[in-house]
């Protein structure tokens, strides 16, 4: 899997987990102390989140980071 495909997969996992938790992008962004636009870019795969960002998102979603970076949802 190339890096663009991997970023898209991570982005899709974040969006799916957010929806499973019943959160809007605005709510998740606020929980991570991000601007909504930053969360939009992450979820759309337009920006590659750093490890620190992924940890913040995992914490806000109350999941392990591996739930974001490794998908068992295929």
Tens digit of pLDDT for each residue in 2-12?
Answer: 888 889 999 99
pLDDT at 72 exceeding the cut of 80: no
pLDDT at 21 exceeding the cut of 90: yes
Domain boundaries, the chain: 3-65
CA neighbor of 74 nearest in space, from 3, 12, 1, 2: 12
CATH number of this structure's domain 3-65, picked from the four choices 1.10.260.40, 1.10.540.10, 1.10.3720.10, 3.30.230.10: 1.10.260.40
In this predicted structure, what is the pLDDT of residue 1? 74
Mean pLDDT score, 36-56? 95
Mean pLDDT score, 32-51? 95
């Amino acid at each position: 899997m190339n890096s663009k495909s991997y970023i898209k997969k991570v982005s899709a996992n974040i969006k799916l987990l957010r929806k499973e938790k019943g959160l809007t992008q605005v709510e998740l962004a606020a929980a991570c102390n991000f601007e909504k636009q930053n969360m939009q870019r992450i979820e759309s795969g337009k920006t590659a989140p750093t490890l620190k960002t992924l940890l913040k998102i995992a914490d806000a979603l109350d999941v392990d980071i591996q739930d974001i970076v490794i998908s068992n949802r295929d």
